[in-house]
Structure 1
Amino acid sequence: MTSRLAARRLALTAAHTGAALAVHAPELADGFAAALPEAADIVGRRLRGALVREGLTPAGPGDRWHAFHRVEYAEAGADDPADLLPRRLAGNAAGFAAELRNAVVNLAVAMARQRPEPAGDPDHAAVAGERLAVAGHNLHPCGRTRLGWDTGDVLAHDLEAGHTRLGFLAVRADLHLGDDVGAALREVYPQVPAAPAGYRVQPVHAWQRDAVLPVRYRDLLDSGALRILAGELDAIPTAALRTLLLPVAADGSRRYVKVSLDIQVTSTRRSISVASTRNGPAVSVLLHRLVAEDPAADRLLLLAETAGAAVPVGSGRDMGAILRDGLTGRLRPGEQAVPGGALPFVAAGLVGQFAASTGRRDDAGAAAAFLDAYARLVVPPLLRLTLRGVALEAHLQNCLPTFTAGVPQRLAVRDFAGLRLHPGRLAAAGHEVTLWPGSVIGTGDPDVLRAKIGYTAFQAHLGELIIRLGESHGLAEDAAWRLVRAVVDETYAGPGELAAQDHAAFTAATVPHKALVRMRLAGAGDEYLPVENPLHAPA
Structure 2
Amino acid sequence: MRIVSTGRLAAAATRTEAALAVHAPHLVDAFTRNLPHAADTVGRRLRAALVREDLTPRTAGGHRHAFNRVEYPHAGVADPVDLLTGIDPTGSMSAEIRNAVVNLAIALARFDPKIPPDAGPDLRAVHLERLAVTGHNLHPCGRTRLGWDTADVLAHDLEAGHTPIRFVAVRDATHLGDDLGTIPAPPGYRAQPLHAWQYDTILHRYADLFTDGTLKRLDGHIDAVPTAALRTLLLPDGTYLKVSLDIQVTSTRRSISVASTRNGPALSQLLHRLTADNDRLLLMAETGGAAVPIGSGRDLSAIARTGLTGRLHPGEEAVPGGALPAHDPATGRTVLAGLVDRSGHTAATWLTDYTRLLLPPLLRLLADGVALEAHLQNCLPTFVDGKPYRLALRDFAGLRLHPGRLHQAGHTIDLWPGSVVGTTDTETLRAKLGYTALQAHLGELVIRLGESHNLDETTAWRLIRDVVDETYDRLGTHPYAAADHSWFLAARTPHKALVRMRLAGHGDLHIPVSNPLHG
For normalisation by structure 1, the TM-score amounts to 0.92
Shift of the alpha carbon at 1:228? Answer: 1.6
The Cα offsets for residues 304-356 of structure 1, whole Å up to 9 and x where unpaired, read as 0000010000000000000000001000000000001101130100000111x
RMSD: 1.4
Aligned to 2:148: 149
Aligned to 1:393: 373
Matched length: 506
- Contact 1:91–1:522 at 8 Å: present in 2 too? no
Cα distance in 2 for residues equivalent to 1:172 and 1:444: 38
Shift of the alpha carbon at 1:72? Answer: 0.3
The Cα offsets for residues 402-455 of structure 1, whole Å up to 9 and x where unpaired, read as 000011011100000000001000000000100011111000111111000000
Cα distance in 1 for residues equivalent to 2:289 and 2:46: 36
Counterpart selection for 2:306 from 325, 343, 364: 325
The Cα offsets for residues 471-521 of structure 1, whole Å up to 9 and x where unpaired, read as 000000000000000000011111344111000111100100000000000
Counterpart selection for 1:234 from 223, 240, 245: 223
The Cα offsets for residues 6-52 of structure 1, whole Å up to 9 and x where unpaired, read as 94111000000000000110100000000000000000000000000
Counterpart selection for 1:218 from 193, 202, 207: 207
Aligned to 1:281: 265
Cα distance in 2 for residues equivalent to 1:334 and 1:459: 30
Alignment gaps of 5+ in structure 1: 187-192, 249-253, 361-365
Aligned to 1:521: 503
Aligned to 2:330: none
Aligned to 1:189: none
Aligned to 1:199: 189
Aligned to 2:471: 491
The Cα offsets for residues 125-154 of structure 1, whole Å up to 9 and x where unpaired, read as 000000011010000000000000000000
Percent identity for Structure 1 against Structure 2 = 67
Shift of the alpha carbon at 1:108? Answer: 0.1
Cα distance in 2 for residues equivalent to 1:501 and 1:79: 47
- Contact 2:402–2:426 at 8 Å: present in 1 too? yes
**Residues 403 and 397 from structure 1, CA distance in 2 versus in 1: closer, same or farther, beyond 3 angstroms?**
same
Counterpart selection for 1:108 from 90, 105, 112: 105
Structure with greater proportional helix content: 1
Aligned to 1:72: 71
Shift of the alpha carbon at 1:5? Answer: 11
Aligned AA (1:434): D
The Cα offsets for residues 154-195 of structure 1, whole Å up to 9 and x where unpaired, read as 00000000010001110001111111111xxx3xxxxxx212
Cα distance in 1 for residues equivalent to 2:23 and 2:56: 40
Cα distance in 2 for residues equivalent to 1:81 and 1:174: 50
**Residues 512 and 91 from structure 1, CA distance in 2 versus in 1: closer, same or farther, beyond 3 angstroms?**
farther
- Contact 2:497–2:509 at 8 Å: present in 1 too? yes
Aligned AA (2:276): A
Shift of the alpha carbon at 1:90? Answer: 5.9
Pair 1:261-2:245 in alignment:
yes
Aligned to 1:363: none
Cα distance in 1 for residues equivalent to 2:309 and 2:6: 47
**Residues 70 and 7 from structure 1, CA distance in 2 versus in 1: closer, same or farther, beyond 3 angstroms?**
farther
Pair 1:351-2:348 in alignment:
no
For residues 306-321 of structure 1, the aligned pairs below 5 Å read: 306-321=287-302
Aligned AA (1:312): P
- Contact 1:56–1:86 at 8 Å: present in 2 too? no
Aligned AA (1:98): A
Cα distance in 2 for residues equivalent to 1:317 and 1:450: 28
Aligned AA (1:240): A
- Contact 1:57–1:86 at 8 Å: present in 2 too? no
Aligned AA (1:194): P
Cα distance in 2 for residues equivalent to 1:498 and 1:279: 25
Aligned to 1:417: 397
For residues 181-196 of structure 1, the aligned pairs below 5 Å read: 181-182=180-181, 186=182, 193-196=183-186
Shift of the alpha carbon at 1:86? Answer: 3.6
Aligned to 1:95: 92
Cα distance in 2 for residues equivalent to 1:49 and 1:512: 17
- Contact 1:6–1:82 at 8 Å: present in 2 too? no
- Contact 1:170–1:226 at 8 Å: present in 2 too? yes
Shift of the alpha carbon at 1:117? Answer: 2.4
**Residues 6 and 274 from structure 1, CA distance in 2 versus in 1: closer, same or farther, beyond 3 angstroms?**
farther
Cα distance in 2 for residues equivalent to 1:500 and 1:506: 10
Cα distance in 2 for residues equivalent to 1:60 and 1:413: 38
Aligned AA (2:97): L
Shift of the alpha carbon at 1:214? Answer: 1.9
Cα distance in 2 for residues equivalent to 1:81 and 1:133: 21
Shift of the alpha carbon at 1:217? Answer: 0.4
The Cα offsets for residues 70-129 of structure 1, whole Å up to 9 and x where unpaired, read as 000000011111100141x2664x010000000000000000001122240000000000
* Corresponding residue SS for 1:201: strand
Cα distance in 1 for residues equivalent to 2:418 and 2:504: 22
- Contact 1:348–1:472 at 8 Å: present in 2 too? yes
Aligned to 1:535: 517
Shift of the alpha carbon at 1:222? Answer: 1.0
Cα distance in 2 for residues equivalent to 1:385 and 1:314: 36
Pair 1:118-2:115 in alignment:
yes
Counterpart selection for 1:369 from 343, 346, 349: 349
Cα distance in 1 for residues equivalent to 2:435 and 2:193: 33
* Corresponding residue SS for 1:55: coil
- Contact 1:166–1:205 at 8 Å: present in 2 too? yes
For normalisation by structure 2, the TM-score amounts to 0.96
Aligned to 2:276: 292
For residues 378-527 of structure 1, the aligned pairs below 5 Å read: 378-493=358-473, 494-527=476-509
**Residues 6 and 319 from structure 1, CA distance in 2 versus in 1: closer, same or farther, beyond 3 angstroms?**
farther
Aligned AA (1:28): L
- Contact 2:495–2:512 at 8 Å: present in 1 too? yes
* Corresponding residue SS for 2:56: coil
Aligned to 1:161: 160
- Contact 2:166–2:195 at 8 Å: present in 1 too? yes
Cα distance in 2 for residues equivalent to 1:139 and 1:311: 34
- Contact 1:138–1:460 at 8 Å: present in 2 too? yes
